[in-house]
Structure 1
Amino acid sequence: MDTTLNVSSTDLGERERSTASLLKWLSHDSAVRRHCRPAPVYAPPAAGAMGSALEAISLVIGNVTALGSLAMAVDAWRRGRTGLLPATTVRISGGGTTVALDGASPRQVAEIARILGIPDVPEETGPTPRTGATATADTAEAPGAAEAADPVEALGTADTSRTAAGSGTA
């Protein structure tokens, strides 16, 4: 699901600085980069302006795991901010709905996922958590996988003579 993070603040200049700070934080978080791929969203330039202001952060959230990674990163960013900064609120928008991103507890993440309509299970294809290779809906067992008691050993017995695209080359 295409979503947008908006940071609001009582200080207009702080809103842009906070949005830039959060974008940098999310871009350095490996779980967020892997699951959500944050990107800047710029406001249209004002008449006579030389550039445009950073307005929001765009993300694609595929499932509740990705949303959980995002919520934990936003929570850590918020806790890491110190000093006398104006209060900021982070809101996530998707599918015509906007929700405040106030915490990262499993209950809060599940509620936000329910409100936004984000599925709670990964799609049938996508990166696997262990290797980063593309998983497919093919359920055929690899030779020798049934005999291996340890699932990690079963992974090592797969035929690696073809690529995920099926080109026949390793």
Structure 2
Amino acid sequence: MHVQLSAATDDGVLTTLDLYRWLRQDPAVRRHTDVTLGSPRSDGRTMGAVEVVNLVLGQSFSALNLALAYANWRNARPTAAPVTITVEGRSVTVTGADEETVARIVELLRPGAADTDR
């Protein structure tokens, strides 16, 4: 499963780079998936983003691992720009690190989730 994370605001590049570095340093993320920096896909959902964090999730990496890594990053940077997570044409924009946000990310990453934007 291909996942893209981006921040499409004035400081979006800085936020995206910071999140990229955080995920690359997270042992659970680094061990189970490749984290790369790239350009947004041309589906129009990441307009304004200069860079995106790309992850390819395999079966050995759970959605909860990514959601918790994001929550830890957000807790360390509560004023960072909102992050948009895009998976298979669906996306969710998150700003917090609470249980509801973690649940929204996990639901987005759940195989077979409804094909609707959140």
User: TM-score normalised to the size of structure 1?
Assistant: 0.50
Instruction: State how far apart, in whole Å, the 2-side matches of 1:77 and 1:113 are.
Output: 16
Say if 1:64 and 1:109, in contact at 8 Å, map to a contact too: no
Say if 1:4 and 1:57, in contact at 8 Å, map to a contact too: yes
One-letter amino acid matched to 2:93: A
Say if 2:67 and 2:105, in contact at 8 Å, map to a contact too: no
Show the counterpart of 1:99: 92
The structure whose residues are more often helix, as a share, is 2
- The gaps in structure 1 that reach 5 residues or longer are 44-52, 120-170
Instruction: State how far apart, in whole Å, the 2-side matches of 1:117 and 1:71 are.
Output: 12
One-letter amino acid matched to 2:27: S
Residues 28-71 of structure 1: CA deviation (Å, up to 9, x unaligned): 0000112232110136xxxxxxxxx9510001123595321111
Change (3 A) 1:112 1:78: closer
Which protein is bigger by CA-based radius of gyration? 1
Show the counterpart of 2:29: 32
Show the counterpart of 1:68: 64
- The gaps in structure 2 that reach 5 residues or longer are 41-48, 113-118
Q: Percent identity over the alignment?
A: 31
Counterparts of 1:1-170 in structure 2, within 5 Å, are 1-9=1-9, 12=10, 14-42=11-39, 54-63=50-59, 66-81=62-77, 87-101=80-94, 102-103=96-97, 105=99, 108-118=101-111
Instruction: State how far apart, in whole Å, the 2-side matches of 1:72 and 1:91 are.
Output: 15
Residues 58-116 of structure 1: CA deviation (Å, up to 9, x unaligned): 0112359532111111111122127xx5x5111211111001244363x6545444444
One-letter amino acid matched to 1:69: N
Instruction: State how far apart, in whole Å, the 1-side matches of 2:33 and 2:59 are.
Output: 10
Instruction: State how far apart, in whole Å, the 2-side matches of 1:71 and 1:64 are.
Output: 15
Q: Which has the higher contact order (CA 8 A, sep 6+)?
A: 2
User: TM-score normalised to the size of structure 2?
Assistant: 0.68
Partner-residue secondary structure (3-state), 2:58: coil
**Equivalenced residues, count:** 103
